[in-house]
Structure 1
Amino acid sequence: MPIGELAAITLDAREPKELAEFYCKVTGWDVLFSSDDFTYVGPAGTPRLAFQRVTDHTAPQWPDSAKQFHLDFKVDSLDEAERELLALGATKPEFQPGGEKWLVLNDPAGHQFCITVFS
């Protein structure tokens, strides 16, 4: 029997509402709860993404093994998804080890995430 159930994956950010809006556009999810310091997004009844205010948040650097974690998103087309994500405020670091298999991007708060055509 499990001890607990995963409720959310929480990302620190200086502006949690703005970061939540970015991920809502990426995933098509809705905001489930929002306050000045905390926002949950996702489909009801499943683990969610959460964003909490950390006023002195420092974005991880890439490439650097201290990035701690990253999110992966399956997409239909790397080129199309890259264009759309950059238009939403993502940035693309110069170092790209994935070749044609995946891309590393940074969300507006600087967290790394990957897009891939493979699942």
Structure 2
Amino acid sequence: MKLTAVTLDCADPLALADFYHRATGLPLHERSTDAFAGLSRGPAGSGLFLGFQRVEGYRPPSWPGQEVPQQLHLDFDVDDFDEAEARLVALGATVPAVQPRPDRWRVLLDPAGHPFCLTVPGA
């Protein structure tokens, strides 16, 4: 078994795909629409696909609370916490006040409210 895709619910798939495109450099999939957009590494079927699907009435997760559970989160390795955090905030991410282990990972929220973590390998 091989994991081939992860898809996030959101209100605006193209906007969220653009945020992650600018954050990761992964190219926008050529068949992306306002109902479903995606980013992929390499030709179709050859690498991990990150998808974004429109959900009517979407409610963002309430991290760290669980009124609306986070459901999942993504982790990204970075070389420098402060530099990566500043770049992602400039792209539209936000930094929640609660940071459980800021020496080991940093929690950010994407523009649709999904929490994701930055980690420095070996930290």
TM-score after normalising by structure 1: 0.91
Please give the per-residue CA displacement for 1:46-96, whole angstroms capped at 9, x wherever unaligned: 121000111211111111352111000000000000100000000010000
* Cα separation, 2, equivalents of 1:71 and 1:101: 15
Unpaired runs of at least 5, structure 2: none
* Aligned position for 1:37: 35
* Cα separation, 2, equivalents of 1:106 and 1:115: 11
CA RMSD across the alignment: 1.3
* Aligned position for 2:52: 51
* Cα separation, 1, equivalents of 2:102 and 2:108: 13
Amino acid at match of 2:120: V
Identity, % of aligned positions: 47
* Cα separation, 2, equivalents of 1:60 and 1:95: 14
Please give the per-residue CA displacement for 1:3-35, whole angstroms capped at 9, x wherever unaligned: xx4331000110000000000111110011311
Q: Are 1:102 and 2:105 matched, yes or no? A: yes
TM-score after normalising by structure 2: 0.88
Amino acid at match of 1:51: F
Aligned residue pairs: how many? 116
Contact between 1:91 and 1:106, CA under 8 Å: does it hold in 2?
yes
Among 5, 8, 24, the alignment partner of 1:8 is 5
Among 84, 93, 98, the alignment partner of 2:96 is 93
* Cα separation, 2, equivalents of 1:75 and 1:27: 11
TM-fit CA distance, 1:98: 1.4
